[in-house]
């Protein structure tokens, strides 16, 4: 009687032939994390962060800690820029904080000055955190970066500007001032300016990328430039972003595609991947060692199962992809260190509400978190029928998960007829398969939909008899 074990559960792998990957590999994963390593735990939830301000969609979230330690958290929504003192004060309209309705707001910090712009109205700066002053002679732009003690701004066409050394407010080009500009060549307009590995990377809407070291401009163009400037996020000097060909990593040389395991969620022949317009605006954040990008509803063409309000999560410590599904779809993210030194993740939605993700929350602001994990087993002999006999599962005692199985001879969704084996409240469970449990492929699904607890899934063991041809 052959026995197979799925006790080292990794991330999603929808790219490689399922007969070649490790037995029991995941083909669906929603709202779980890889903790402890090799297991899966239901993700934490979130709760509200401040009020809704003007009730308009949140387009930008960012934070600034002044040199004296004062913390300000900012949001852009409607036609205003708001701040929260310390991240605990109520949203307050920032002085001279009127913006173009619906625009994103970019920012950078030089010295003890915060400079912002929305790509349409005047560029402004703040030294006190609560009010802004129009920055004389500064170009209009949305994309900002600090590099070599200057502020760089991507203009509204193909010109990239930089400030006088050491002064975010000085954009003069004569006398002792040395502000200047350079043209980013090629088709398209500037769609992003980022400091990556002590170089400025200027992106264009055509997908072209150029690297500027303060002296020379180098074309590093590929087809892998960011499709959404709001999807670019950095951790430990390494940048990640969304392109129309996948999720890209960049450390300063050439961009690298590494999202093959979930390629079919990004684009596929059925046209059920990321919607085209989402590529241009998808927000993302790196929080601790997770890169998360909000991409809307996606349906890969392997499982044909939809993930609604999908957030693709890449854990670059473990080099694995998983999916989140939030009850409130993020329009903007921000990861910042609060006054106590704790790293916080907040996001805002289309209703104007912001949320704090993490901590001890077990719901999505009161909504149950539905999580699902699905394996497929063939017992290393996919060509033979099996008589499935026993299922053994390992969980944390007291959890509210349910185990379901489907037996089929194909991978198509329509062929999978699910039936429940039972709950796993005892932690370690053993179930006999129903009579007639025969077929080439076994699909095992772990689902949980509670508002009271989080489950931990350590793995499954399948016993079966092989049926010779």
* Residue in this structure with the two tokens 């317009």, named with its chain if needed: 277
Residue 64 lies in a domain: no
* CA dist., res. 188 & res. 183, Å (int): 12
Looking at the chain, the number of H-run helices and the number of E-run strands are 2, 40
In whole angstroms, give the CA distance from residue 348 to residue 346.
7
Classify residue 309: in a domain, yes or no.
no
**Residue 116 resides in a domain:** no
3-state helix, strand, coil in the chain (%, to 5): 5, 50, 50
Residue owning tokens 């994990």:
373
Tokens 């401040």: give the residue.
Answer: 50
Domain assignment of residue 13, yes or no: yes
Domain presence at residue 406: yes
Q: Is 439 part of any domain?
A: yes
Q: Return the residue matching tokens 């980022």.
A: 194
Whether 443 is covered by a domain: the verdict is yes
**32 is in which domain, residue-wise?**
3-42+371-467
Query: Is residue 395 in a domain?
Result: yes
**CATH code for position 453:** 2.60.120
CA distance 151 to 53: 30
pLDDT tens, N- to C-terminus, the chain (469 residues): 689 999 999 999 888 887 777 788 899 999 999 999 999 999 999 999 999 999 999 999 999 999 999 999 999 999 999 999 999 999 999 999 999 999 999 999 999 999 999 999 999 999 999 999 999 999 999 999 999 999 999 999 999 999 999 999 999 999 999 999 999 998 899 999 999 989 999 999 988 899 999 999 999 877 788 999 999 998 777 899 999 999 999 988 788 898 999 999 999 988 889 998 999 999 999 999 899 999 999 999 888 999 999 999 999 889 999 999 999 999 999 999 998 999 999 999 999 999 999 988 999 999 999 999 999 999 989 999 999 999 999 999 999 999 999 999 998 898 999 999 999 999 999 999 999 999 999 999 999 998 888 899 999 999 999 998 7
Number of domains into which the chain is organized: 1
């Amino acid at each position: 009687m052959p026995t197979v074990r799925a006790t080292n559960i990794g991330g999603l792998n929808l790219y490689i032939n399922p007969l070649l990957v490790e037995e029991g590999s995941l083909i669906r994963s929603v709202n779980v994390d890889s903790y402890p390593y090799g297991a899966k735990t239901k993700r934490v939830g979130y709760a509200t962060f401040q009020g809704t301000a003007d009730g308009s969609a949140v387009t930008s979230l960012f934070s600034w800690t002044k040199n004296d330690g004062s913390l300000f958290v900012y949001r852009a929504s409607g036609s205003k820029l708001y701040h929260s003192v310390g991240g605990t004060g109520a949203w307050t309209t920032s002085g001279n904080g009127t913006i173009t309705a619906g625009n994103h707001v970019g920012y950078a910090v030089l010295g003890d000055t915060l400079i912002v712009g929305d790509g349409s109205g005047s560029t402004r700066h703040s030294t006190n955190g609560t009010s802004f002053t129009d920055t004389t002679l500064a170009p209009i732009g949305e994309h900002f970066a600090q590099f070599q003690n200057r502020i760089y701004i991507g203009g509204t066409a193909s010109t990239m500007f930089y400030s006088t050394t050491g002064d975010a407010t000085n954009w003069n080009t004569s006398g002792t001032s040395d502000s200047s500009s350079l043209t980013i060549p090629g088709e398209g307009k500037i769609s992003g300016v980022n400091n990556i590995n002590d170089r400025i990377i200027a992106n264009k809407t055509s997908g072209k990328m150029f690297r500027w070291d303060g002296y020379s401009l180098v074309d590093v163009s590929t087809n892998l430039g960011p499709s959404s400037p709001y999807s670019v996020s950095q951790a430990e000097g390494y940048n990640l972003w969304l392109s129309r060909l996948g999720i890209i990593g960049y450390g300063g040389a050439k961009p690298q595609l590494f999202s093959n395991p979930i390629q079919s969620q990004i684009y596929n022949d059925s046209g059920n991947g990321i919607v085209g317009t989402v590529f241009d605006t998808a927000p993302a954040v790196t929080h601790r060692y997770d890169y998360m990008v909000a991409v809307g509803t996606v349906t890969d063409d392997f499982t044909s199962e939809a993930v609604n309000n999908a957030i693709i999560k890449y854990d670059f410590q473990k080099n694995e992809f998983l999916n989140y599904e939030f009850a409130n779809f993020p329009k903007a993210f921000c990861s910042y260190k609060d006054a106590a030194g704790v790293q916080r993740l907040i996001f805002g939605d289309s209703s104007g509400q912001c949320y704090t993700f993490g901590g001890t929350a077990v719901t999505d602001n009161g909504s149950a978190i539905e999580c699902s994990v699905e394996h497929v087993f063939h017992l290393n002999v996919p060509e033979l029928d099996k008589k499935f006999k026993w299922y053994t599962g390992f969980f944390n005692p007291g959890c509210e998960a349910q185990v379901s199985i489907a037996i089929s001879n194909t991978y198509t969704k329509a062929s999978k007829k699910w039936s429940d084996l039972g709950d796993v409240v005892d932690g370690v469970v053993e179930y006999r398969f129903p009579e007639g449990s025969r077929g080439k492929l076994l699909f095992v699904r772990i689902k949980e939909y509670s508002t009271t607890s989080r489950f931990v899934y350590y793995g499954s063991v399948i016993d079966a008899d092989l049926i010779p041809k």
